[in-house]
Amino acid sequence: MVIDENILYSVGAEIRIYKPSEYLFTEGERPNYYYQIVTGEVKLNNYNEDGKEFIQNILSAGQSCGESVLFIDRPFPMNAEALTECSVIRLHKDAFLELLNETPKLYREISSFLSQRLYYKFIMMQNISSPNPAIRLRGLMDYLKSFHHDESPYSYTIPLTRQQMANHTGLCVETAIRTIKHMERENIVKIRDRKILY
């Protein structure tokens, strides 16, 4: 968790429920709130000129979003869409910044969270710039698996659909599927009832 919920409530935060496919915020909007996910999953994405989706990240309980842009005067560069039903704590920008001023410890925690995001972005950017789809997908899987602490092969079930994996790596679904099949033949992954074990 990023910030203790009780602290957020004490400075005026409110809880909001979002239905699947509802937006927390959209690209181009002016950021007015700090968001922290209590339950559910939120997808950060963009759409390119042809309307093709690119998933930037998928966030789950305990993670925050929107904070990256609260410190600067810029509109949101992405959409935040609820994937499942979500309960999200929302705190107004001014109250959020005020809270950080009063509590240096929180400043550090937010910085740490932002650093993690930056780290993720860097890793993903590295492997997504590879022309080889296997490297892109493996980079994604390696990153996801790095949070599960069992390193043995096939111990981690990829929590994404192939569609989502493709949209994460800028590949088309068909290429993602073919590449994953190829990886299965090479014993890099196992597939058990459509789930990818890595």
Partner DNA sequence: TCATTAAAGTTAT
Partner DNA sequence: ATAACTTTAATGA
Give the whole-angstrom CA distance, residue 144 versus residue 179. 18
Q: Does residue 40 touch DNA according to CB under 7 A? A: no
Q: Does residue 178 touch DNA according to CB under 7 A? A: yes
Q: Does residue 172 touch DNA according to CB under 7 A? A: yes
Count of CB atoms within 10 A of residue 86's CB?
A: 25
What is the smallest separation between the CB atom of 74 and DNA, expressed in angstroms?
29
Count, residues near DNA per rule CB under 7 A: 24
Q: Does residue 85 touch DNA according to CB under 7 A? A: no
Q: Does residue 23 touch DNA according to CB under 7 A? A: no
Q: Does residue 128 touch DNA according to CB under 7 A? A: no
Are 70 and 97 within 8 A, CB to CB? yes
**C-beta closer to DNA: residue 186 or 193:** 193
Which residues are paired to 33 by β-bridges?
92
Are 38 and 61 within 8 A, CB to CB? yes
Q: Does residue 186 touch DNA according to CB under 7 A? A: no
Pairing of strands 64-65, 23-25: unpaired
Are 183 and 191 within 8 A, CB to CB? no
Give CA angle at 162 (159, 163), nearest 5°.
Answer: 110
Q: Does residue 74 touch DNA according to CB under 7 A? A: no
Contact residue for DNA among 163, 188, 190, 197 (CB under 7 A): 163
Q: Does residue 58 touch DNA according to CB under 7 A? A: no
Which listed range, 25-33, 94-102, 125-133, 145-153, lies at the site for DNA (CB under 7 A)? Answer: 125-133
Are 169 and 143 within 8 A, CB to CB? no
Q: Does residue 39 touch DNA according to CB under 7 A? A: no
What is the smallest separation between the CB atom of 24 and DNA, expressed in angstroms?
18
DSSP letter for each residue of 156-187: -B--S-HHHHHHHHT--HHHHHHHHHHHHHTT
| Contact positions vs DNA (CB under 7 A) | 50, 52, 131-134, 161-164, 170-175, 177-181, 191, 193-194
